[in-house]
Structure 1
Amino acid sequence: MTRLITVLLAASTDATRLHRVRPSDESLTAFAASIADRAINHDIHLARAPASGTPARSLRVIAMRVPLGHGRACWRRARRRLLSWEMHEGSTWSAVLVEDPPGRSLVTLAALPSPRLPLLWVSNPCRAVRRRVGRRRCSVGYSTLSGHLLEGEEKMDVVWSRETDEVAFEVVSHSRGAGPLGKLLFPALSSTQRRFFREQCRCMQRAAAGVQRVEPVWSSPRSAHPGHRLEAVAGVTR
Structure 2
Amino acid sequence: MTSGASRDRVFGRVDAARVLRDLADARVNYAVEEVRRPAWNIDTYGAALPAEGPGLPDPGGTWERACRFVRDYEFSPPRIVRAVYDPEQPLLGRDMLLEARFYGLHFYCGVRVTEVVDRWSGDARVWGWAYETLEGHLERGKVAYEVVKRCDTGEVSFVVSCYSQGSPALGRVVRLGWQLFGRPTQSRFYRECIARLQRFVESAPDQPPGRSTRTGQLVWAPSDARAYRLDALAIHRVAPG
The interval holding the TM-score normalised by the smaller chain is 0.5 to 0.7
Secondary structure of residue in 1 paired with 2:188: helix
- 2:164 corresponding residue in structure 1: 175
- Check 1:29–1:70 CA distance in 2 against 1; reply closer, same or farther (3 A cut): farther
Equivalent pair of 2:80/2:189 in contact (CA under 8 Å): no
Secondary structure of residue in 2 paired with 1:146: coil
- TM-superposed deviation, 1:207: 1.4
Q: Distance in 2 between matches of 1:24 and 1:130?
A: 31
Cα displacement string for residues 145-198 of structure 1 (whole angstroms, at most 9, x for unaligned residues): 111121100011000112321211111110112224279444321011112212
Q: Structure 2 regions of 5+ residues with no counterpart?
A: 1-9, 53-57, 205-241
Work out the percentage of aligned pairs sharing the same amino acid: 24
- Check 1:209–1:30 CA distance in 2 against 1; reply closer, same or farther (3 A cut): farther
Q: Distance in 1 between matches of 2:108 and 2:42?
A: 21
Q: Structure 1 regions of 5+ residues with no counterpart?
A: 1-21, 45-50, 113-117, 212-238
Q: Does 1:43 align with 2:31?
A: yes
Q: Distance in 1 between matches of 2:193 and 2:202?
A: 14
Matches within 5 A, 1:46-125: 51=33, 54-71=35-52, 72=58, 73-88=61-76, 91-99=78-86, 100-112=90-102, 118-125=103-110
Output the amino acid matched with 1:150: E
Q: Does 1:126 align with 2:111?
A: yes
Matches within 5 A, 1:192-203: 192-203=185-196
Secondary structure of residue in 2 paired with 1:34: helix
Q: Distance in 1 between matches of 2:13 and 2:67?
A: 24
- Check 1:93–1:41 CA distance in 2 against 1; reply closer, same or farther (3 A cut): closer
Equivalences, count: 178
Indicate the structure (1 or 2) with the bigger Cα radius of gyration: 2
Output the amino acid matched with 1:173: C
- TM-superposed deviation, 1:96: 3.1
Q: Distance in 2 between matches of 1:191 and 1:119?
A: 17
Q: Distance in 2 between matches of 1:190 and 1:56?
A: 15
- 2:179 corresponding residue in structure 1: 187
- 1:144 corresponding residue in structure 2: 133
Secondary structure of residue in 1 paired with 2:194: helix
Which has the higher relative contact order, 1 or 2, with Cα contacts under 8 A spaced 6 or more apart? 2
Output the amino acid matched with 2:155: E
- TM-superposed deviation, 1:25: 11
TM-score when normalising by structure 1: 0.65
Q: Distance in 2 between matches of 1:64 and 1:124?
A: 23
Q: Distance in 1 between matches of 2:161 and 2:23?
A: 24
Cα displacement string for residues 95-123 of structure 1 (whole angstroms, at most 9, x for unaligned residues): 233444221211222320xxxxx222222
Equivalent pair of 1:110/1:196 in contact (CA under 8 Å): no
Equivalent pair of 2:35/2:163 in contact (CA under 8 Å): no
